[in-house]
Amino acid sequence: METPRVYRPFGARLVVVVMAVTLVGAVTFLWAAMPAEVRAQFSWAQRVTILFFFAAILLAMWGMFRTSVAISDSGLVITNIFKVRSYDWAQVLAISLRRGDPWAVLDLSDGTSVVAMAIQGSDGARTTGVLREIGEQIDRHSPSEDLG
């Protein structure tokens, strides 16, 4: 396996790009289409507020765009929006994606679980391959039990 290997959602990233381009285009068009006397009625505080909310929406979209799961010989790095978590293979017990769930879930050795937003059910067969590959890595790196 080539390491590190990074997985990103296809459908979600496509939607975010289309939404961002549409939003920027619509806001730019609407501002330019407004008569100059109407634009002049906006105070600087109102303009800054509008730009702040516009930037906040784009920042949230960027967070969704950057979700990823990176696997390497040492473990996994999960990036969910703005939170990045690293796990050694010994910490990861299993990965699953139940029918109807939006994202895959990692079961961890401390009894908790964490979602991997980059592995989405909506990506279909691509997701199945990613789940299989990560599952194989979990099996390969799990300590063998002595059944003797």
Q: Write the pLDDT tens digit of every residue in 39-88.
A: 999 999 999 999 999 999 999 999 999 999 999 888 899 999 999 999 99
Residue 3: what pLDDT? 65
Please determine, for residue 120, whether its predicted confidence score (pLDDT) is greater than 60: yes
Distance CA 5, CA 26 (A): 37
Q: How confident is the model at residue 148 (pLDDT cuts 50, 70, 90)?
A: very low
Report the range of poorest mean pLDDT among 56-60, 122-126, 131-135.
Answer: 122-126
Place of tokens 């473990």: 75
Q: For the chain, which residues make up each domain, given as ranges? A: 1-142
Q: How confident is the model at residue 142 (pLDDT cuts 50, 70, 90)?
A: confident
The verdict on domain 1-142 having CATH code 2.30.29 is yes
Distance CA 9, CA 67 (A): 7
Tokens of 10: 């296809």
